[in-house]
A = this chain, B = another copy of it.
Amino acid sequence: MSEVVDKSTLAKQASTRLGALSTQDKNETLLMMAKALISHTDEIITANVEDLERGRAQGTSESMLDRLRLDSVRIEGIASALRQIADLDDPVGDLLETLERPNGLIIEKIRVPIGVIGIIYEARPNVTVDAAGLSLKTGNAVVLRGGSAALSSNRKIVEILHQALKQSAIPHNALQLIEDADRASVNEMMKLNGIIDVIIPRGGHSLIQNVVQNSTVPVIETGAGICHTFIDATADHQMAQDIAINAKVQRPSVCNSMETLLVHTDYDQTALITLAEALRQDQVEIRGCALTRERISWAKEATEQDYATEYNDYILNIKIVANLDEALQHIATYGTMHSECIVTDDEEHAKRFMQEVDAAAVYHNASTRFTDGFEFGFGAEIGISTQKLHARGPMGLPALTSTKYRIYGNGQIRQ
């Protein structure tokens, strides 16, 4: 048997025991895992240096190396995330519904773990710990396949976590790391229907699309965000400027930042120029439609391709639209159903926008940057689902659970 099948099968076997674990047992385990990481900080850093040196020898970019790098502060942060997960409410076992049928059957709908979660991700060792913590807290076994550039770090981290699990109520086989660096191991994981219950890809566009296109195991798609802010004719100028700037520059590299600003043609032209100047001061390059370029002389030209691009950078498209319908149409065409915002004082326009825009999160008078599990108060975030099944928008712990019906009778048979 291959490593993938072998380890995934062990994870599945372990998973059958996890659903019955008490919340206390799971939380104590998470705290033990955090403690183990802290007390083995030096070993983790040594392993991480191997990855960094190999990366540097292979010419890996500095920004990639930075994402890969671990130091004692970062390891404390990773351990701290485990402690935070321990603090969260445990959704497993929640009674969601009770149905009493005329024939006397009592039907209970209960939250249960999904089973085995596969995570395919890039060379970010923090994801190794985070995914393990979230999965185990929700009673799931987890099979991790991280980017091979972080293999030494991941191997050491999982070795340490395994030692902690061996002292705990959770069977250590519930946590598996695929070490095979070959791409074939990813392909194999994606076909393990019946062993792995769901695959969650975490990473950039091409990683996610590879999983979506090739996995026969169900996938929770996360990621791409081409988010818009629409400044309506009646928008408060200061509020519109604050929200637009926040959505663009507070953290341009993330999926809930704004890529295109839509502005009603009747919006005050001086206010628009003031906003554009403020963006320019924040180093934002502006690409505009023809009307935008008439109003903002220094804007470059925006192409169709630009409207369809997730820049994740200090670049912004601006398009002047004739009315709400044109804004809605633009969002329907170019949006990725992630986060969309209208700034307006017109209640009727707000109502239509909130109703008609098809996205995970739709905002009236607030920045799209709030689409986030922590900002929503979930206390954790597995990712932001951009699909419509199972979970949509920021995913907290319940997104890692399924349900089951328990039916209690006293001899009922069907007529």
Contacts and interface: CB of A to CB of B under 8 A. Distances in A.
Contact of A413 (B246, B356, B407): B246
A314 interface: no
B413 A242 contact: yes
A366 interface: yes
Contacts of A212: 193, 216
* Protomer copies: 2
Interface string A99-121: 10100010100001011000000
B364 A409 contact: yes
B216 A370 contact: no
A236 B406 CA distance: 20
Nearest to A191: B213
A399 to B, nearest CB: 10
Contacts of A245: 413
A200 B272 CA distance: 47
Nearest to A343: B411
A78 B218 CA distance: 33
B388 A115 contact: yes
A239 B411 contact: yes
Interface string A338-367: 000000000000000011101111111111
Nearest to A105: B366
Contact of A392 (B99, B238, B375, B402): B402
A114 B407 contact: no
Given A115-B358, A364-B407, A389-B198, A250 B218 contact: no
A16 B358 contact: yes
Contacts of A363: 407, 409
A412 interface: yes
Contacts of A242: 411, 413
Classify the secondary structure of A's interface with B.
mixed
Contacts of A236: 411
Contacts of A362: 404-407
A46 to B, nearest CB: 37
B404 A393 contact: yes
A414 interface: yes
A87 to B, nearest CB: 18
A62 B389 CA distance: 39
Contacts of A99: 376-377
Contacts of A250: 413-414
A402 B375 contact: no
A14 to B, nearest CB: 13
23 contacts: A16-B358, A19-B355, A105-B370, A114-B389, A115-B358, A197-B387, A197-B388, A236-B411, A246-B414, A250-B414, A361-B406, A361-B407, A362-B405, A364-B406, A365-B408, A365-B410, A366-B409, A367-B409, A369-B414, A370-B407, A388-B402, A393-B403, A393-B404
Interface of A: 16, 19-20, 99, 101, 105, 107, 112, 114-115, 193, 197-198, 212-213, 216, 218-220, 236, 238-239, 242-243, 245-246, 250, 332, 354-356, 358-367, 369-371, 375-377, 387-390, 392-393, 402-414
Given A99-B376, A197-B387, 12 more contacts: A16-B356, A20-B356, A101-B377, A115-B388, A220-B389, A242-B411, A360-B405, A362-B405, A362-B406, A365-B408, A366-B408, A392-B405
